């Protein structure tokens, strides 16, 4: 099961799950986004499509063991606990050969405690999966041995023995994904979509003749479930009333615009540079303002239907008030102001990602003092 939670210091959200969970989410997102893009090249730019692929990039590296991991109770351990409550030890009936690997357990010194070895056993399968995707046989065995040793030394904090891959996303970036995928997932896939894709990419690795409309619908539903989990995590930080407002605006807006990748990158930098010195309330205010800017509430208010214009104009006015108040405490640039500053200093849109881009962001928001903060 995929789990979405808030990070402890309010930087963003953590996405975690077993290897197969994140691997499936990666394949699904990559496949469905490709399907959507090749049927909407007029409305989605290639640059924005590739920007959205960065979600898949992080999911793939989480599966490869390049991000974080945590340990969570698995089905084997839950069943074991259930049987033991009734005085039955399932290990007496287990086939030890199904779990043990002679080469992997050569170093008996790693197992000062039999319980640690037992817990480690239930972690082997998950770690082998991710190692197979990244390492050769020799290096894989070394990595697995390192994992065994670490678990054996800290077995009390790894009692359940099941590895969950975990990857963290800054909230400003997740807002971008959330709103962009709202557009991607709005339409139901059709047979015509599959035909268009097959004509354009007949030899694509991720697509075969067996990829059917039912599988496309399944992929869409999985992605909708994933992003509904993101909405749920946001409620515990920003409150149900505000998130209800956000969902109401997003679901009722047929004129959602393509998210601005340049602005999102600037917000990512601003978060990393300023959050270490900000209070939790200031972080929340920053993120609330960021959401409305990525959403482009001013555009939605100007182009809303008559029955919604008054409501959205009120939301826009409250947002501008928040931005002014926040600007007295920390550095926050609305989208229009940031673009104006960048264009003026960097010479126009074509040069926005020049070598001077990060230098200008550092001048605007300060240097990133902690390269890898606890999010």
Residues 6+ apart with CB under 8 A from 278: 286, 330
How far apart are the C-alpha atoms of 132 and 149, rounded to whole Å? Answer: 19
What pLDDT does 159 receive?
Answer: 46
pLDDT at 328 over 80: yes
Of 52-66, 215-229, 234-248, the one with minimum mean pLDDT is: 52-66
Query: Which position has the higher pLDDT, 136 or 228?
Result: 228
pLDDT at 227 over 50: yes
Given pLDDT bands bounded at 50, 70 and 90, which one contains residue 177?
Answer: very high
What pLDDT does 235 receive?
Answer: 95
pLDDT at 113 over 50: no
How far apart are the C-alpha atoms of 375 and 371, rounded to whole Å? Answer: 11
- What is the number of residues in the chain? 375
Mean pLDDT of 149-171: 64
Q: What is the pLDDT of residues 52-82, one digit of tens each?
A: 999 999 998 888 777 777 766 654 555 455 4
What mean pLDDT value characterizes the chain?
Answer: 77
Q: Which value, in Å, is the radius of gyration of the alpha carbons in the chain? A: 24
| pTM of this structure | 0.76
Mean pLDDT of 162-186: 90
What pLDDT does 305 receive?
Answer: 84
What pLDDT does 12 receive?
Answer: 94
pLDDT at 180 over 70: yes
Of 128-137, 190-199, 254-263, the one with minimum mean pLDDT is: 128-137
What pLDDT does 141 receive?
Answer: 61
In 3D, which of 255, 282, 268, 272 has the Cα closest to residue 338? Answer: 268
pLDDT at 163 over 50: yes
């Amino acid at each position: 099961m995929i789990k979405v939670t808030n990070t402890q210091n309010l930087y963003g959200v953590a996405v975690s799950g077993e290897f197969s969970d994140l691997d499936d989410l990666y394949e699904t997102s990559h496949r469905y986004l490709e399907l959507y893009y090749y049927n909407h090249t007029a409305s989605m730019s290639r640059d924005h499509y590739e920007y959205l692929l960065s979600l898949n990039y992080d999911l793939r590296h989480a599966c490869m063991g390049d991000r974080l991991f945590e340990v969570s109770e698995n089905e084997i351990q839950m069943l074991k606990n259930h049987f033991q409550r009734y005085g039955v030890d399932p290990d007496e009936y287990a086939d030890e050969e199904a779990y043990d690997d002679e080469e992997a357990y050569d170093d008996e010194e790693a197992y000062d405690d039999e319980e640690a070895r037992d817990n480690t056993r239930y972690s082997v399968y998950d770690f082998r999966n991710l190692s197979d995707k990244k390492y050769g046989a020799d290096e894989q065995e070394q990595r697995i041995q390192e994992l065994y040793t670490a678990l054996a030394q800290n077995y009390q904090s790894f009692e359940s023995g099941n590895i969950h891959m975990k990857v963290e996303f800054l909230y400003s970036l997740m807002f971008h994904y959330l709103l962009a995928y709202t557009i991607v997932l709005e339409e139901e896939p059709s047979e015509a979509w599959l035909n268009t894709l097959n004509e354009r990419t007949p030899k694509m690795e991720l697509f075969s003749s067996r990829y059917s409309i039912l599988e496309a619908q399944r992929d869409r539903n999985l992605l909708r479930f994933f992003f509904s989990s993101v909405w749920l995590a946001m409620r515990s930080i920003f409150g149900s009333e505000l998130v209800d407002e956000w969902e109401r605006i997003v679901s009722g807006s047929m004129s959602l615009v393509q998210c601005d990748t340049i602005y999102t990158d600037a917000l990512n930098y601003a978060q990393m540079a300023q959050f270490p010195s900000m209070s939790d309330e200031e972080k929340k205010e920053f993120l609330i303002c960021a959401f409305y800017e990525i959403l482009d509430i001013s555009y939605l208010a100007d182009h809303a239907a008559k029955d919604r214009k008054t409501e959205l104009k009120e939301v826009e006015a409250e947002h501008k008030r928040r931005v002014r108040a926040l600007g007295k405490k920390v550095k926050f640039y609305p989208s229009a102001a940031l673009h104006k500053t960048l264009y003026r200093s960097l010479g126009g849109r074509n040069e926005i990602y020049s070598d001077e881009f990060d230098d200008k962001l550092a001048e605007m928001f300060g240097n990133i003092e902690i390269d890898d903060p606890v999010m």
